[in-house]
Chains A and B, each alone.
Chain A
Amino acid sequence: MNKKSTLHLLLILSLIMGALIFRKGELLSLAIPFLVYLIIGLIQAPSDLDLAAKRTIDRTSVPAGGTVETSIVIKNQGAGLANLYLEDTLFPSMSILEGEAQGRVALARGETVEFNYTFTAERGVYPWKMVRACASDPFGLFDLETEIPAFGNILVRPAPMKIRPVAVKPLHTLHAPGPIPSRLAGSGTDFWGVREYLPGDPLRQINWRLKARHPRRLFTNEFEREEIADFGLILDTRRFATADALEESLFEHTASAATAFSESLLKVGNRVSLLVYGKSITTVFPGSGKSHGNRLLRSLARARLGEYIPFTYLDYFPTRLFPARSVIVIFSSVHPHDLDVYARLRSYHYEVLLISPDPVGYASRKLPQTEINSLALRLARLERIVLLKQLVKLGVKVVDWQVNEPLDKVLNYSLNQLARRRDIRGTQ
């Protein structure tokens, strides 16, 4: 029974009570049309629902903000239904652009109906399991609800960010061909050195100039071997402040950067692992290739900002996630309490690269220009500069990223600066 049938029942009962109280039989006559209406509804109410649904989504993965077309075909395999309400599950972060995700239909036995809608959604994974169906009599007095299985899934990737290959040069590489100079002699393109000729060396690698100087000896050119490396990505999803909207918006940039960075690493064959660190922790163990890329993408799409927890929980993570001497790339706005963890990671001989989207710069562009705001931002900027300098002292490669600037440009510039400083120190 629903609200409509209850209303009718109440009207009938009131008229009967009125007839009794006032001892007026005519009042009973007034109740008859309502009673007939209720009975006709009851007779035509469906006793059982046998519906089948098929969901078609035009793509399996889409970047945030992209449009997705969904089509649902419902077939009535049971008795005819005069009044059927169908409703698809809508997630809060979805917005419909065209069409309807619900509707009323009349379906005869064996008849099908199709409803389509186009939507756009925020970053995330959206799984559908069913379509809600509610059949009732033509007057809508007696409902019969059911859930029709209609599975579907779509991955809404972080907003696309194009980055050119980043010149990260790890000290340790894996012995498999790749793009990273390994500081070892082998097959490659960059000249590495010369050694004495050994039987079996290809003739085109013989250094003929040196042979001219030493006519009785042969020398072979050696090239720097190019290999792949292990990269561990850590995406920090902890909330540091209470400025929800600002932090959420900055986090979207961070997630996009992490996605673009992981894609650029995987594209050239590196092994990449991922740790999404926050209230809920997600791990993806090292791997490479397209399917591994999809796994990473799925985890990055699911990442949501959560409440603050200390970074020290990282101590309990298996080393299998970050193989020894790998490069750990941390995407975080950085909290003063995290310094110990960075120091520990460095002490374990990990190379640590911190890509830190600047929350102060971001807030300064978003907040109104008032005296208090500018003072607060100045203090926060000073605090951040001190914190980043402390991290640099620990040997962490810090990239201070203003999110309105292209990441690859900032990254390449910062890494080149760091390499130059290292070279200068090396020559001193």
Chain B
Amino acid sequence: MLKASILWRGRELPPLTDYTPIPASDVSDNAPVRERTVTRIRDNPIAVTEAATGAPRLTTNAFADRGIPVEKIDAAAREQRLVMCSVVLSNQAAASPPLRILSSYNVQSVTETTAGHYTIAFLTDMATANYFCSGMPIIGSLVDYIYPALDRLQAKTVSEVHIVTVADGIGGGGVIQEVERFSFQCHGNTQA
């Protein structure tokens, strides 16, 4: 009997294989080996991979630790809901070099164009320039609170984002100032 095909994400999947439990009596001592038993032994593992009705589901212990790479997670969920760029920067004048990337994901480079102005270039471009950003200082200054902001004079693009670190001195206005360490991340779809 022909089975109906299934369309999944625009792809036609092969017809599902039935899962049929094999009763203990079919594999008990002195039971004859029947064609139906051998057929089920052949088909049931395939039915498990297809999550056929009645087939046992994989439990946590069945997976190898760290065995599932990220591309096996649904692309829509992966790209919309996981961090698409992150970087932790250290900028200490006494260090060599002063500007260092302590940790990063999907970051090609970080450049300090002038003091307190940073350009973060992505390894893989974002799909649009309307991605979501956040940033926080990790180590600032004991005198001023220093925090990152998007540079209003340089719009972010699909390939890079421009950050300034602003010091907020009590009793005075903000001024661009280097911060010892800050983190930045963004969410959004990439073009990959």
A and B from one assembly? no
A interface, CB within 8 angstroms of B: none
